[in-house]
């Protein structure tokens, strides 16, 4: 099958590598001025992997869209709306195309989920989301993992799973798109808090952080019409090991470096997602103490140790 991937960063390049490895014909798109694309063109790989030789690199968005009927989008969350506008401006017939959003985040300023933005802009429900635990560094070493595929269209979910399943990645079918997208996005914020605890030499508190984080987000998901139990699955709690503890986790590393006053020059999606979660907190009236603490630390110059310790020094409550 022909697969196109839009986005040539760490995960976009992985999806090109993976799709080719399981037998698909692949085109990988990146902008002409993208340093990631320039590196792939020059070396055939990046810091994480070497692309198979049959992966076609393209800097032409129209060519990439026309190449395949299954299109993976793996770009920064806050860039999704702009990308979809570019796709609309091409005036292509995309009614039969199936899109897969391989990204985790919420739009800052609106709090909107990625599938919502997609449906609103392209007026299409032919979209699935692919989330769950895993790091490129482990997957390219053939360390298997389980992930989640979800869509509001059950037949689309099943079709996309059949296309991408392999011994390396086992998929679970997701039915609660609200809970899956909120949970997948929010785990990055919990990851930042976990990294801050590491930096403050309070790693032992990550157990309490995990327990409280799931409860906090379950209440938000329920208030938005989702299933509160979804956050206890692979999209959120199941991703904690990869996000709160792994040295590969960018959000955890960002949080650690932040409190240690070290420079961090990679994308940590949780920094924008926490702002979006504050928008949802206002809309729903649901308290999000962990998210609010991270927001105050990052954007209101609050003291990290004071904010985080206050989370665990509140009045005694039943578990």
Query: Domain ranges in the chain?
Result: 2-174, 178-312
Tell me if 11 sits within 8 A of 46, measured CB to CB. Answer: no
> What average pLDDT does the structure give for the chain?
96
Which residues lie below 8 Å from residue 228, measured CB to CB, with a gap of 6+?
Answer: 179, 218, 219, 221, 222
pTM of the model: 0.94
Which pLDDT tens digit goes with each residue over 256-312?
999 999 999 888 999 999 999 999 999 999 999 999 999 999 999 999 999 999 998
* 187 is an active site residue: yes
Q: What is the mean pLDDT of residues 51-78?
A: 97
Q: What fold characterizes domain 2-174?
A: Rossmann fold (3.40.50)
On the question of a common fold for 2-174 and 178-312, the answer reads no
Q: What fold characterizes domain 178-312?
A: 1.10.1040
Q: What is the mean pLDDT of residues 88-108?
A: 96
Which has the closest alpha carbon to 257: 218, 304, 295? 304
Decide if pLDDT at 210 tops 80.
yes
CA distances from 261 to 33, 139, 258 (A): 31, 31, 5
Residue 48 burial (CB count, 10 A): 17
User: What is the spatial distance between Cα 45 and Cα 157, in angstroms, rounded to a whole number?
Assistant: 30
User: What is the spatial distance between Cα 234 and Cα 143, in angstroms, rounded to a whole number?
Assistant: 17
Decide if pLDDT at 314 tops 70.
no
Q: Which of 104, 187, 206, 253 is catalytic?
A: 187
Q: What is the mean pLDDT of residues 180-192?
A: 97
The pLDDT of residue 231 = 97
Tell me if 286 sits within 8 A of 215, measured CB to CB. Answer: no
Higher pLDDT, 5 or 265: 5
54: three-class secondary structure by DSSP: coil
Decide if pLDDT at 222 tops 80.
yes
Tell me if 29 sits within 8 A of 8, measured CB to CB. Answer: yes
């Amino acid at each position: 099958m022909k697969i196109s991937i839009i986005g040539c960063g760490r995960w976009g390049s992985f999806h090109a590598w993976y799709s080719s490895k399981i037998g698909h014909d692949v085109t990988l798109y990146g902008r002409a001025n993208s340093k990631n694309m320039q590196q792939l063109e020059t070396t055939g790989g990046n810091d994480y992997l070497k692309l198979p030789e049959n992966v076609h690199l393209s800097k032409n968005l129209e060519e990439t869209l026309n190449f395949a009927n299954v299109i993976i989008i793996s770009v920064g969350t806050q860039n999704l709306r702009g990308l979809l506008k570019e796709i609309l401006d091409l005036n292509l017939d995309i009614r039969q195309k199936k899109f897969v959003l391989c990204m985790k985040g919420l739009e800052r300023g609106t709090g909107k989920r990625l599938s919502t933005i997609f449906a609103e802009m392209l007026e299409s429900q032919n979209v699935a989301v692919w989330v769950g635990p895993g790091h490129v560094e482990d997957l390219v070493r053939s360390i298997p993992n389980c992930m989640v595929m979800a869509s509001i269209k059950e037949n689309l979910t099943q079709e996309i799973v059949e296309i991408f399943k392999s011994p390396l990645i086992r998929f679970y079918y997701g039915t609660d798109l609200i809970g899956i997208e909120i949970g997948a996005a929010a785990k990055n914020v919990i990851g930042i808090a976990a990294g801050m605890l590491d930096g403050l030499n309070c790693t032992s508190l990550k157990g309490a952080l995990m327990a409280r984080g799931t409860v906090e987000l379950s209440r938000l998901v329920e208030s938005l019409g989702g299933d509160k139990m979804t956050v206890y699955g692979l999209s959120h709690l199941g991703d904690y090991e990869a996000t709160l503890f792994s040295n590969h986790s960018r959000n955890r590393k960002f949080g650690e470096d932040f409190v240690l006053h070290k420079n961090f020059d990679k994308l940590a999606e949780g920094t924008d997602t926490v702002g979006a979660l504050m928008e949802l907190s206002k809309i729903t009236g649901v308290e999000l103490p962990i998210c609010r603490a991270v927001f105050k630390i990052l954007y209101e110059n609050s003291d990290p140790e004071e904010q985080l310790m206050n989370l665990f020094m509140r009045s005694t409550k039943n578990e």
